[in-house]
Amino acid sequence: MQFGIYGSHTPETCPIYLAKYAQVFVDVAGLDPARLATEYGIRRIGPRYHSALEHTFLWIVEADDPTEIERFAVDTGLASFNMLRIVPVHTFDETVERLKHAHGL
């Protein structure tokens, strides 16, 4: 299942300005995919989008359990300076197919 991790932080805690928070992103970027799968059930971290001046981001991850994504965010420090929402997401094409099926289109 795909989940979106929607994050935001204040300018005062922005990794652009604070090396300790920049290090969190550097560390997460370097995580071994096999470790993510074994420890957190995260099979893939897909696209990651950031809006630096809005201090927001969206990451797409594939996992079975959103509580494990939460644990990942806490363990890595991602949750230490970001407000996070973890929600199921679908591609536009998947949504269109669901709509066709639901309405017999």
- Can you give the pLDDT at residue 85? 98
pLDDT for position 19 = 97
Count of domains forming the chain: 1
As given in the structure block, the two tokens for residue 44 are: 């893939």
DSSP state of 99: H
Domain range for residue 22? 2-103
Output the domain CATH number for residue 51: 3.30.70
| Helices (runs of H) and strands (runs of E) counted in the chain | 4, 4
Per-residue pLDDT of the chain (105 residues; tens, 9 = 90+): 999 999 999 999 999 999 999 999 999 999 999 999 999 999 999 999 999 999 999 999 999 999 999 999 999 999 999 999 999 999 999 999 999 999 999
The pLDDT assigned to 13 comes to 96
Three-state SS letters, 14-54: CCCCCHHHHHHHHHHHCCCHHHHHHHHCEEEEEEEEEECCC
The single-letter code of the amino acid at 9 is H
In 3D space, the residue among 105, 3, 6 whose CA is nearest the CA of residue 55 turns out to be 6
For residue 40, the model assigns a pLDDT of: 96
